Structure 1
Amino acid sequence: MKNELEIIIVRVLQKDVTEEEMRIFSSWFYASEENKNLFFQMKQIFDNRKENLPADERFDVDAGWNRLRKKLHESAVQNKSVAAPKTILRLNRWMIAVAAVFIGLIAVGSILFYAKTNQSDLWVEVRTEFRDEPKLIELHDGSTVQLNASSVLKYPKKFKKNQREVYLDGEALFDVVKAEKSPFLVRGGKQVIRVLGTRFSVMNYSEDVYSVTTLISGKVSLETFDEDNNPDQRIVMNPDQQLRFNKHTGQVTLNDVDAAEAASWVNGTYAFYNEPLELITERLEKYYGVNIVIPDEFSRNEKYTGKFTSKQQIAEIIKIINFEDQFHTHFRGDTIVLQRNN
């Protein structure tokens, strides 16, 4: 049953679990506080395995997962109620619903605390929803982060002495306190940003084609990775520069910009200068909670310049984008189609 329980827990973490598997999981989860703590630790390892970590850190994560698998085996042996479906502790639908909601809160809650493998540190996960105002977060070292809508930030409650590290899936403005012996790393997808002390904005949603990093002050080094997670390019940025990274092609573009204007989203203003329409619509999707479809590649790559504010409605912004009537627009629920006119 060891392997069966492990498979079920992984499916729970992947949010792809049947009702019968949820019964088995719920029986095991509620059996003891030790099982609950073990699940939290496995979730932390599971989340880390999805990140693009350096080889040595991936080794540590995999080793941690294997240690937890052994603990899980011991737990399954002790908890005979999980030994086979016929001997499962009977849980009514209310209990299963509570378990499902509880697991859901682990995935989408606003602020979560959970133990790392060695239990010496606590990690915090902050999530924002679409149309949320920027959320101000203060880190242990005094650095601050303003987290934009539809974003996720993971960070330790207390940084290690020789390294400060956070994970971002979304958009955020960082004000990093300078510490010569403790670099600050922002990990996300196929890139890592390394700084000592600086102010910069990052837009890096895992599902988007582009990531955009804008440096306001100080200096940062940005490293990209290829499909096999091997280091690909390393670029050093100076103030008032913006780096655009195409995660599909690996292409990197570095431009001079008005960095303060590029980061004006913290005040509710979104500015674009000569940027692909696809990048602009990706940002609109995150803020307004819509899905914007542009069927032809030419239109997706066409460059636009302009501004919109968070107080405007999405229909008004689409109308501004379509100022030349170059598109036939279709609004279907939360989906917007921009079909190029021939």
Structure 2
Amino acid sequence: MDFNIEEIIIRVLQNTVSEEEMHFFSEWIHLTDKNKKLFFELKNIYDYRKGDLYIDGVELETGWNRLWAKLQKSKSKDEIVVTKKKSILFNRWKIATTAAVAGFLIWGVTLFYIRQETSVTWVEVHNPACSLPKTIHLPDGSWVQLNASSYLRYPKKFKNEERKVYLDGEALFNVIKQENKLFIVHSNKQQINVLGTRFNVMDYSTDAYSVTTLISGKVQLETFDEEKNLRDRIVMSPEQQLRFDAYTGQITLNQTDTHEVISWTNGIYSFQDVPLQQITDRLSKMYGVTIIVTDKESRAEKYTGKFSSNQSIEEVMRIINFHGEFRTIFSNDSITIALK
């Protein structure tokens, strides 16, 4: 099947991507650092588009011209988001069949380039793959531990009645309680409303699911459909874990061992009865490699284990494959898991 990476990126951002497309996207984004950077710039664009900033015609034209110039600098067909062959689709004067995509890019890039000129100054933190957890202190005294392959965006100063932050990836939040000032975490598939609490969120844009674990306090979690309409609103209690599947819309709420969930902050990763595909997704983000499980049924097989972030990917794969059920093929920055 032929894939169009521009269209797939849009569907990833809108949570309408198919499982097969997500598998292709995961391979593409781990191919080069440039792919990752371009995707997350487009994600920033998409997030800002959902805001309420006013943009006039001059700013719109300036923003579009800047993005166009930036895209033209890229020469590699495999590393750019909009290829030369397809670039005409994103010209705002020739948007016949992809008006929605072009529209969001034009509006979004304007916001991306002028955001430093608005009243809110944003701080963006990226913790790359193969990195130790990074501690971030927020302006209200709250603090966040950001896992590898994760992004956090927050204002330099919280204003008004809300404290909003944006997450792509995994983070442990320790939120200071402030009366009548809600703390809101926007991630790819959900929104979490908080007054004061401690909780862990894992929500990568490259995954079809999100996992939220409440350690103490109380949070209200909201999920949305592809049109950004409210789908569900759930109030969580301590030691509960909520898993949301964006493909099916299914929500699972269970009791969990919170110590194991946040063990990553100490460099320990535990998993119990977790499908192989979820484990390899996590390893891909930790070690910056592409992991392909060739057998579809094997992706759903569940495994239990524990390893340290100090261990090599080869050692970790040996732990998972303790019973020798599959063979592992290493090649540069990719790993293939196949049945024997």
State the TM-score, normalizing by the size of structure 2: 0.69
Q: Deviations over 1:48-91 (max 9, x none)?
A: 5513x8xxx83724xx3x42x32355899xxxxx9xxxxx9xxx
Return the letter of the residue paired with 1:244.
R
Counterpart-to-counterpart distance in 2, 1:325 and 1:189: 36
- Matched with 1:58 is 50
CA contact (8 A) 2:284 2:291 kept: yes
Shift of 1:250: 1.8
DSSP 3-state at the match of 1:50: helix
Counterpart CA distance in 2 for 1:323 and 1:158 is 49
1:281–1:292 CA contact under 8 A, matched in 2: yes
What's the counterpart of residue 254 of structure 1? 253
Give unmatched runs, 5+ long, in structure 2: 1-9, 11-39, 75-111
Note closer, same or farther for the CA distance 1:45–1:337 as it changes in structure 2 (3 Å cut).
Answer: closer
Q: Which residue of 1 aligns with 2:334?
A: 335
What is the 5 A alignment of 1:102-251? Answer: 116=115, 119-251=118-250
Report the Cα offset of residue 274 of structure 1.
2.0
Is the CA contact 2:165–2:186 (under 8 Å) kept in the aligned structure 1? yes
For the 8 Å contact 1:145–1:172, the answer to whether it is kept is yes
Q: Deviation at 1:119?
A: 2.3
Pairwise mapping of residues 267-286 of structure 1 onto structure 2 (< 5 A)?
Answer: 267-286=266-285
Aligned position for 2:58: 70
**Equivalent pair of 2:327/2:338 in contact (CA under 8 Å):** yes
In structure 1, how many angstroms separate the alpha carbons of the residues matched to 2:134 and 2:229? 33
* Structure 1 partner of 2:3: none
- Conservation of the 8 A alpha-carbon contact between 1:114 and 1:123: no
- Residue matched to 1:320: 319
Partner of 2:100: none
* C-alpha contact (below 8 Å) 1:194/1:220 kept by paired residues: yes
Question: Within 5 A, what are the aligned runs for 1:283-294?
Answer: 283-294=282-293
Measure the CA separation in 1 of the matches of 2:131 and 2:198. Answer: 22
Q: How many residues align?
A: 259
- Give the secondary structure class of the aligned counterpart of 1:280: helix
Inter-CA distance 312–70: structure 2 relative to 1 (3 Å threshold) = same
RMSD of aligned Cα (Å): 2.9
Partner of 1:253: helix, strand, or coil?
A: strand
Q: 1:339, 1:189 → 2: CA distance?
A: 31
- Once residues 75 and 242 of structure 1 are traced to their aligned partners in structure 2, the CA distance between those partners, rounded to angstroms, is 41
Query: Which structure has the higher relative contact order (CA within 8 Å, separation 6+)?
Result: 2
Shift in Å, 1:292? 0.9
Once the two structures are overlaid, the 10-residue window that deviates more, 312-321 or 225-234, is 225-234
Q: Which amino acid aligns with 1:337?
A: T
- The alpha carbon displacement at 1:210 in A equals 2.2
Letter in 2 for 1:316: E
**Counterpart Cα distance in 2 of 1:303 and 1:340:** 15
Q: Distance in 1 between matches of 2:309 and 2:268?
A: 6
Cα pair distance change 1:59/1:211, threshold 3 Å = closer
In the aligned structure 1, how far is the partner of 2:41 from the partner of 2:149? 23
Q: Which residue of 2 aligns with 1:266?
A: 265
Alpha carbons 1:114, 1:122 under 8 Å: kept: no
Letter in 2 for 1:147: L
Structure 1: distance between partners of 2:276 and 2:189? 22
- Aligned equivalents of 2:193 and 2:158: distance in 1? 15
- Is the partner of 2:50 in helix, strand or coil? helix
Name the TM-score, length of structure 1 as normaliser. Answer: 0.69
Deviation at 1:46, TM superposition (A): 6.9
8 Å CA contact retained: 1:291, 1:334: yes
The percentage of aligned residue pairs carrying the same residue is: 53
Structure 1 residue 115, shift from structure 2 partner: 6.3
Cross-structure match for 2:31: none
- Say if 1:217 and 1:327 are closer, same or farther in 2 by CA, change over 3 A: same
Q: Render the CA deviation track for 1:169-188: whole Å, top value 9, x for unaligned.
A: 11111000012311111111
SS where residue 193 of structure 1 aligns? strand
Report how far residue 209 of structure 1 moved.
Answer: 2.1
**In the aligned structure 1, how far is the partner of 2:41 from the partner of 2:280?**
33
Change (3 A) 1:312 1:119: same
Give the CA deviation at 1:141.
Answer: 0.5
Instruction: Tell me, yes or no, if the aligned pair for 2:63 and 2:114 is still in contact at 8 Å.
Output: no
The 8 Å contact of residues 115 and 122 in structure 1, kept in 2 or not, is answered as no
